[in-house]
Amino acid sequence: MTDLDNAIAQLDDSWQIVEGKKLTKAFEFKGFLKTMSFVNAVAWEANRVMHHPDMEVSFSRCVIHITTHDEGNTLTEKDVHLAQRIDALF
């Protein structure tokens, strides 16, 4: 098992690996302001570590997609670490 496999195994089970190259998770909220607060917190944290996810945002839901763009849009340990940081914000 690789270091990446070990890191992925430590993630919350609600993270999914899509197409073998990105981590995806949907977060549900009780209203627009809670959703936007989460989105802003994710943006702040992502910018702090200089690893930026794609986000789909709606009234009470945010879907996060994480991949390492500068490694050819593939999964790296960097993605797993960001996913763990995002989980800590929720």
pLDDT tens readout for residues 30-87: 999 999 999 999 999 999 999 999 999 999 999 999 999 999 999 999 999 999 999 9
On the 0-12 / 13-18 / 19+ scale of CB atoms within 10 A, 49 is exposed
The radius of gyration of the chain's CA atoms, rounded to the nearest angstrom, is 13
Whole-model pTM? 0.92
Whether 4 shows a pLDDT value over 90: the answer reads no
Q: Which CATH architecture has domain 3-89?
A: 2-Layer Sandwich (3.30)
Residue with token string 């929720």: 90
Tokens of 28: 């549900």
Give, rounded to a whole angstrom, the gap between the first and last alpha carbons of the chain: 29
Which residue do the tokens 């981590």 mark? 23
User: Would you state the pLDDT for residue 5?
Assistant: 86
Domains of the chain, residue spans: 3-89
Question: Who has greater pLDDT, 13 or 26?
Answer: 26
